[in-house]
Structure formats: C-alpha cells, structure tokens
Amino acid sequence: MKPLATRHSLPATAGFHELPHDTLEFLRFGLARVPAGEALELDTEDREALAVVIEAPEEVLIAAGGRELWLPPRRSVFDDAPGAVYAPAQTSLELRGPLLAGVFQTAASRSDGGVTHAILPDEVETVERGDGNFARRVSNILPRQRPAARLLAGETLNPPGNWSSSPPHKHDRQAPPEETRLEEIYLFRTRPQQGFGLQHSYHSGGPSRTFAVGDLDVVTIPAGYHPVVAAPGYELYYLWCLAGESRDLCWAPDPAHAWVDSPPR
C-alpha cells in the first residue's frame, strides 16, 4: 500500500532549506529565507520551478532567465493575495531579500513549460468553497489554464475550527478521467503563530495517520485521503502544489463521506 502523508520541519535560519530529494518521486520543495540586502541563487537544471512569496515587507525582485520580475510586498499570507514567478527548466533564479518564499520544482523539459513570467496578485483567482464548518477560501496561483509542464499550485485559508480538503479526496491513481496520480506538498502558516491544525491521512479500510501541524511545517502527501482542520481560535493557511503523471487534476472522493457535499434529504 502506498505511503501516507508525512510532516517535516525546516530550519528557521537564512538560506535555502530543501526537503530531502527522495521524499517524493515527482515534487520537490524548498523554503527560501533571504535577508535584506542579500540574494539567493538557484539553478533549476532539468526542473521547472515556481517561487511563491510568503512574506516580503517591500517590493520583491526575482531575476529569472535574464529577466527582472517585480512583485508587490506581502505583509502576510492572511492579509495579502499571493504573487509568484514561474520559470521553465534550465533557468537560473535569483531571489533578492528581504523575502520568505516557497519554491516548488518538478522534472520537465525546456520546451514543455512555456516562458518565464510573473504571476501578480490581481491575476490570481480566489474562490469560496465548501459550506458551514468546511467553508474555506482558495486562491489558484498556477491553475491548469496557465502554462507549465507539470506544476499546479494555490493556497487555502481555513477560518478557525474549519475543515478543508473536505469531503476527503485523493489523487494517487492514474485512471483519468476518474482520477489522476498527483503528489502534493503543503506548507502551513497559523495566526496567531502559536496555533495549530490537524492533518489526517488515510487509506479507505486501511491504515491512517494524524498529526498536529504548526507554523511553517511542511507535509508531503504521496497518496491517500488528506483532510485538514484548523484549531478553534486559529486561522490556518497552507500553500499547496501538485505534480505527477499528468497536469489534469482529477480527484476521487471517499465514497463513505461524499454525501457531505450533497446531504441526503
């Protein structure tokens, strides 16, 4: 049976802190902390990349493939819409501080992903999903409609006590159009910062795993259903990215809980 979700903690020091490369088959993640007046250089080699601004007290400059791309400041993920830079394979990136950013990468050929470009906050579609205590706000940073080879990315914001990725769904089997195999990574933030949420991960009729997630924890999701809930009194945010065998996002709901979207009368 495929492995379930795993929680990771990254250092709080300056630099580029990556998850181990064997964490997932398709998807990589690194957290970039760049102090004011400094720059961090990354080479994507044979991978396309997406750098998403998490915090930046002033306008952000990211140089990519010989171009200088500017993004507006972001006070926090709870107050401002996201900005990002997409870079195809074989493109160097230079992130200039002060900046905190999440960088996702996946294997791709140079010709597959389109051109280097900035994604400005007013270009990001934000929608309300769910109802009641599973209502949440979702921002689609790199949806299927934007050019890329494999990556899909966005953000989810849970109000205090609310669920997301709910009703539970999975995307670990390549059988389109019913389901596609896509790995996923979550980067969490909480407000107030000492808050937490719970990440549940399970196979129907099989093993399960549940753990607390705190500010700047990272969760890798290779397979299984994976709902999330915020603790009462705390907003819970997560930056998410997917990559896998195709760029079509087809998820399969857990049949035991699918009725929640359309309650029986």
The 10s digit of each residue's pLDDT in 70-106 is: 999 999 999 999 999 999 999 999 999 999 999 999 9
Give 108-153 as a DSSP string: --TTTS---EEE-GGGSEEEEES-GGG-EEEEEEE-TTS--SS-EE
Q: What is the pLDDT of residues 240-254, one digit of tens each?
A: 999 999 899 999 999
From CA 174, how far away is CA 51, in angstroms rounded?
27
Q: Which of 239, 223, 193 is nearest to 6 (CA)?
A: 223
In CATH, 6-261 is 3.40.50.620: no
Domain locations in the chain as residue ranges: 6-261
- Rounded to the nearest 5 percent, the helix, strand and coil shares of the chain are 5, 50, 45
Looking at residue 66, what is its pLDDT?
86
Note the pLDDT of residue 130.
93
In this prediction, residue 264 carries a pLDDT of: 62
Q: Which segments of the chain have a pLDDT < 70?
A: 110-111, 263-265
Residues in contact with 82: Cβ distance below 8 Å, sequence separation at least 6, in sequence order:
52, 53, 74, 119, 121, 124, 139, 141, 155, 239
User: What pLDDT shows up at residue 261?
Assistant: 84
Give the contacts of 260 (CB within 8 A, at least 6 positions apart).
134, 166, 167
Asked whether the bond before 227 is cis by omega within 30 degrees of 0, the reply is no
